[in-house]
Amino acid sequence: MKKQWYYSDFFVIIIIQFLIELGLIFINFDLLSAYNSIKKQYNIISTINPLALIYKNTLNLVSAGLFLDFILLILTLSAFILAVRFKDNIFNNNNYLENAALTDSLTGLYNRRYFDSFYENIFAQSYRYDIPHSLIMCDIDYFKKINDTYGHDKGDIVLKEVSDVLKNNIRKSDIAVRFGGEEFIVCLPSTDIANAVDVARKIKQMISKIRTKDIKKVTVSMGVAFYKKEFGNESKDMLKHLDNLLYEAKNRGRNRIISGDHQGNIIEVEENPWADE
């Protein structure tokens, strides 16, 4: 949206510049007509006439101004034509640079830099207006072993496949993030724990169906956290809690979902305990 405003402002400036140059051309033409009238009226022909030198210098200035106005007018029109001609290229390049700064180049998911700013806004809304939100953190099990056994190329394929599952199983209002290495976060605004667990279970099931050459099965460990008033306005406390839940999932043997209930107890999720709430 900001780029569109800049682009509109550029066109406004071009049009104003065009009108100014056009106006100056008409003024200079009028001046030339006026000096021609003066020349006839006072018979400024002979160089002996004392007005001849003044007339000649003034005429030269007006002619030079008129020539400069024509050049500027042509440049203004050229800038306008080029801006229209390459509008799409300009926007595409800007979008590419912006996306490159906010997304992970391998998976196409948002990166941690984008998540930090996005999540601060989501957390602030929950704190101020008591709007629920949930987070899912997942980590690919034994990913180092995959890289060591099959090579980093195979590891990259697994990362892409997992990322595709995340992208294809969330809403437009949600975001999936490559948080670092083989670790991912899904942020679910306006989502309670019951719905977040449903999303986590679906993602876990879809990831278990990934099949690549040489790698028979891919599993993930997951932590699911929801906003509670106990976190206050400290988003880092909720992220730390989420990280602890993921650690607990890995500590219990991996390939499982760990969440916390409303009483603060850590529970392993098989069936959704909040499905009927």
- Asked if 18 and 142 sit in the same domain, the reply is no
Domain carrying residue 199: 106-269
In a domain, 238, yes or no: yes
Residue range 199-245, pLDDT digits in tens: 999 999 999 999 988 888 999 999 999 999 999 889 999 999 999 99
Distance CA 6, CA 13 (A): 11
Q: Among 94, 125, 151, which residue terminates a domain?
A: 94
Q: 137 in a domain, yes or no?
A: yes
Residue 100: inside a domain, yes or no? Answer: no
> Considering the domain boundaries, does residue 194 fall inside one?
yes
Last residue of some domain: 68, 94, 120? 94
Range from 54-68, 166-180, 209-223 carrying the lowest mean pLDDT: 54-68
Look up residue 49 and give its DSSP letter.
S
Q: What is the pTM of this model?
A: 0.67
Q: Is the separation of the CB atoms in 245 and 137 below 8 Å?
A: yes
pLDDT in tens, 89-122: 655 555 554 566 899 999 999 999 999 999 999 9
Among 134, 39, 125, 24, smallest CA distance to 73 is for 24
Would you please indicate which residues are annotated as catalytic (active-site) residues?
182
Q: What residue has token string 């440049």? A: 75
> Which letter, b or e, does each residue of 128-147 get, where b requires 16 or more Cβ atoms within 10 Å of its Cβ?
eeeebbbbbbbbbbebeebb
Per the structure, the count of domains in the chain is: 2
